[in-house]
Amino acid sequence: MSELHVNELSHRYRGVEVLQSISFSLAPGEIFALMGGSGTGKSTLLKCLAGLEKQHTGTITLGGQTMDETTAAKRPVVLMFQDALLFPHMTLRENVAYALKTRGVKRQVRSDQAAVFLEKVGMLHAAERLPEQCSGGEKQRVALARALIAQPALLLLDEPFASLDETLRFQMLRWAKSLLKEAGTTAVFVTHAKDEAVAMGDTIGVMHEGRLFEKGSPAALARRPLYGPTADALGDGVRIGSTFVPASAVKVHRFTSNDDDAGWKAQVQSLFQTHGQLLVCLEVAGAAQALTIPAPFQMAEGEWLYISADSDSLVELAEQRGEHDETK
């Protein structure tokens, strides 16, 4: 188990600053879900951590050791991609054992260890198969076993399950998190999807235009985001201009012409049942995204309503970058 500290890390490509003053820390065994849209710098940050890209400024410290001048081959870091990248001519056992082979571990020892890790990922029965005989999900299980057998101080996962169908993807997420917790592995998991970040991360960070805006627990960032990009990506509520209204604070009223300016008009877009509860999807005036909350009374699609919230529950969002970590 190793702690990670990244301080003021920046990276430029052809004169463009792809990463801008990134700073964060991970406790030993912490799983950090890093989310953001395409082009926000998530994958570049992973490559810098792995040593595949060189940061232009800043420091990376892993397990108390500075990594800035350490080559990728010598860093105790493993990077997993969306493609499992298994050796096609090797059996699954040989693929998993490969990291031990490069360290000079004897054949029988590495074969036995590979069997242990294949059993952990539920693939021991297929140990002598070739990768071409496996499904996408099976290949990713083997890739994770190969990563964990190396006992990395830091595991980096670049959307490794993105190509799988939704049901299998979330099975893999739950299963992978359980294995990482069992091993006590410090990890950074990159995704663009809120549900994946919440399922995988002990903490979540939001990237936008090469900057890390916030880092905190999923619940804290969903309930009270401090920055606009965080509210857009994770907020459990609705953003209206620079104001974030938490879903838990929303009050719904019948709309009348006498309503004052203390709230917002909203139109019912749809009504649907989930786990026996009636939910309403509202299009709120001035909001870019819809708001879905439990329906407090009977209403009809297309009906105009009025929503409000107590002033002390509202969050005024900042647009400038900063780091906010409620987990420290």
The pLDDT value given to residue 262: 65
User: In angstroms, rounded to a whole number, what is the distance separating the alpha carbons of residues 19 and 208?
Assistant: 10
Tokens 């209403």 belong to which residue? Answer: 299
Decide: 186 and 78 in contact? Cβ < 8 Å.
Answer: no
Decide: 84 and 98 in contact? Cβ < 8 Å.
Answer: no
Give CA angle at 247 (214, 323), nearest 5°: 10
Instruction: List, for residues 159-203, the tens digit of each pLDDT value.
Output: 988 878 888 888 888 888 998 999 999 999 999 999 999 999 999
Question: Sorting pLDDT into bands at 50, 70 and 90, what band is 324?
Answer: very low
* Residue 255 identity: F
Neighbours of 113 (CB within 10 A): 17
Q: Does residue 325 register a pLDDT over 70?
A: no
Question: Sorting pLDDT into bands at 50, 70 and 90, what band is 44?
Answer: very high
Q: Does residue 323 register a pLDDT over 50?
A: no
Of the candidate ranges 86-90, 93-97, 136-140, 301-305, the one whose mean pLDDT is the lowest: 136-140
* Mean pLDDT, rounded, for 273-281: 93
* Mean pLDDT, rounded, for 144-171: 89
The pLDDT value given to residue 258: 62
Q: Does residue 321 register a pLDDT over 80?
A: no
Question: Sorting pLDDT into bands at 50, 70 and 90, what band is 255?
Answer: confident
Q: Does residue 267 register a pLDDT over 90?
A: yes
Decide: 199 and 173 in contact? Cβ < 8 Å.
Answer: yes
Q: Does residue 136 register a pLDDT over 50?
A: yes
User: In angstroms, rounded to a whole number, what is the distance separating the alpha carbons of residues 113 and 129?
Assistant: 17
Q: Does residue 304 register a pLDDT over 90?
A: yes
Instruction: List, for residues 194-250, the tens digit of each pLDDT value.
Output: 999 999 999 999 999 999 999 999 999 999 999 999 999 999 999 999 999 999 999
Six-digit token pair at 309?
Answer: 């919230």
Q: Does residue 328 register a pLDDT over 60?
A: no
* Mean pLDDT, rounded, for 115-134: 94
Q: Does residue 327 register a pLDDT over 50?
A: no
* Mean pLDDT, rounded, for 294-307: 94
- DSSP H/E element including 47: helix 42-50
Six-digit token pair at 49?
Answer: 């951590």
Six-digit token pair at 139?
Answer: 């290949």
Adjacent-strand bridge partners of 155 = 78, 187
Question: Sorting pLDDT into bands at 50, 70 and 90, what band is 133?
Answer: very high
> Average pLDDT of the chain?
91
Q: Going by DSSP bridges, is the β-strand pair 211-216/264-274 parallel, antiparallel, or unpaired?
A: unpaired
Domains of the chain listed by start with CATH number? 4-223 (3.40.50.300), 236-316 (2.40.50.140)
* Mean pLDDT, rounded, for 312-323: 77
Decide: 181 and 187 in contact? Cβ < 8 Å.
Answer: no
Q: Which residue has the higher pLDDT, 10 or 81?
A: 10
Instruction: List, for residues 78-116, the tens digit of each pLDDT value.
Output: 999 888 899 999 999 999 999 899 889 999 999 999 999
User: In angstroms, rounded to a whole number, what is the distance separating the alpha carbons of residues 27 and 309?
Assistant: 37
